[in-house]
């Protein structure tokens, strides 16, 4: 068994009190937490500090650890004979057991120290897996099957699961009992799945609704029109009412991510031709002469009454 110097890992003297140990650990945890640090060895450093802290913050574990003396880091050492009786009774040897596992077992009732008598194994829940999947909007609306690869110390396995229709961005799903196997009578772990939706060239999701930009010619907006618009199930005809303004949302009921229960919205944008033919120019000029519409005046007034 290899010795690890937990005091050196936390950077505290061997006589450090609990406050010093906690402060040193938190400082390291803040520096190397995988959610914070981008350093390639951050996870290993964080785990190392957490392992050291788990032992040194617990008076019983710390006393047991201190009994080992102070061999150099990495040096092979033989734990006191009593430990084998306490931690691994009945096994021929516990050479392969890691020091951290041995000390951690103390807290789970698998080891109770000298004189603890018959030990009772505590049920341990199997490992939970957290994973994510990225779906197209089409698959999110219709539902789909995905393969989840789950890897742990026992190996790797692939689980094919069905994603129900109508999921949305950032939705979280829990699949009970499909995670790691439980130990000593504990329940199997769960799978937590985070849904991501891949960006779509046309549609933008908001919860279960979808939005897209509908470009209209000025005359379509003014006169009304029937225009073909895309949906996740294919193109449909949308009636644009006469007098439709830019920014108006036109609803296609039931065409969102949850079929029948969420909607697709077309957000109107009015575009104008960048260049005009001579005939178009004449018609626009005539319109300008005859129309009393002034968007800086009429538009504000009309909007104020909406």
Partner 1 sequence: MFDEPTEWLSLDTSARISLTELAECCDLTATELDELVDYNALAPLDGVASEQVFSAHWVVPLRTVAKLRLDFDLDLFTVAMMLGQLNRIAQLEQQVQSLQARLPLHLRVMQHE
Q: What are the residues binding partner 1 (CB under 8 A)? A: 22, 25-26, 29-30, 33, 46, 50, 53, 57, 125, 147, 157-164, 169-176, 178, 187, 190, 192-193, 199, 204-207, 209-211, 213, 247, 249, 265, 267, 269
Residue partners of 276: CB distance under 8 A and separation at least 6:
284
Residue bearing tokens 């519409």? 293
Smallest gap from residue 230 Cβ to partner 1 (A): 15
Q: Are 151 and 131 in contact (CB under 8 A)?
A: no
Residues, the chain, total?
306
Closest CB 281 distance from partner 1, rounded Å = 26
3-state secondary structure of 268: strand
Closer Cβ to partner 1, 206 or 286, answer by number: 206
Q: What is the DSSP-derived secondary structure letter of residue 196? A: E
Least Å distance, CB 108 to partner 1, is 14
Q: What are the two backbone dihedrals, phi and then psi, of residue 240, each rounded to the nearest 5 degrees?
A: -95, 120
**How far is residue 121's CA from residue 105's CA, in Å, rounded to a whole number?**
10
| Phi and psi, residue 219, nearest 5° | -70, -30
Beta bridge partners of 266: 212, 250
| Nearest distance in Å: CB 205, partner 1 | 6
Q: How far is the CB of 71 from partner 1 (least distance, A)?
A: 27
Q: Which is nearer to partner 1, 100 or 173 (CB)?
A: 173
| Of residues 84 and 231, the one with the C-beta less far from partner 1 | 231
- Toward partner 1, which CB reaches closer, 3 or 137? 137
Paired sense of beta strands 236-240 and 225-229, if any: antiparallel
Cβ at position 241, least distance to partner 1 in Å: 20
Nearer of residues 8 and 246 to partner 1, judged by Cβ: 246
**Of the two residues 22 and 183, which places its CB atom closer to partner 1 in the complex?**
22
């Amino acid at each position: 068994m290899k010795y690890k110097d937990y005091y050196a890992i936390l950077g505290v003297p061997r006589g450090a009190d609990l406050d010093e140990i906690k402060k040193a650990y938190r400082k390291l945890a803040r520096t190397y937490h995988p959610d914070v640090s981008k350093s390639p060895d951050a996870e290993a450093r964080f785990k190392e500090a957490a392992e050291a802290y788990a032992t040194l913050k617990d008076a019983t574990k710390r006393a047991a650890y201190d009994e080992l003396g102070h061999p150099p880091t990495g040096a092979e050492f033989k734990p006191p004979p009593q430990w084998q009786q306490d931690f691994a009774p009945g096994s021929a040897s516990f050479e392969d057991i890691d020091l951290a596992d041995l000390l951690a077992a103390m807290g789970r009732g698998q080891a109770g120290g000298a004189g603890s008598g018959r030990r009772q194994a505590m049920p341990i829940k199997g490992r939970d897996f957290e994973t994510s999947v990225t779906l197209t909007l089409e698959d999110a609306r219709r539902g789909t099957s995905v393969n989840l690869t789950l890897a742990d110390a026992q190996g790797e396995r692939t689980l094919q699961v069905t994603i129900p229709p109508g999921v949305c961005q950032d939705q979280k799903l829990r699949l009970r009992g499909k995670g790691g196997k439980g130990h000593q009578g504990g329940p199997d772990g769960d799978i937590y799945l985070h849904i991501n939706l891949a960006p779509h060239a046309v549609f933008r999701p908001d919860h279960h609704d979808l939005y897209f930009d509908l470009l209209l010619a000025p005359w379509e907006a003014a006169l009304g029109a029937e225009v073909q618009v895309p949906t996740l199930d294919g193109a449909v005809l949308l009636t644009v009412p006469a007098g439709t303004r830019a920014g108006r949302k036109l609803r296609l009921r039931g065409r969102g991510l949850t079929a029948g229960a969420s909607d697709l919205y077309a957000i109107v944008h009015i575009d104008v031709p960048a260049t005009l033919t001579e005939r178009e120019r004449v018609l626009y000029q005539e319109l300008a002469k005859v129309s009393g519409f002034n968007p800086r005046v009429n538009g504000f007034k009309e909007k104020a009454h909406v």
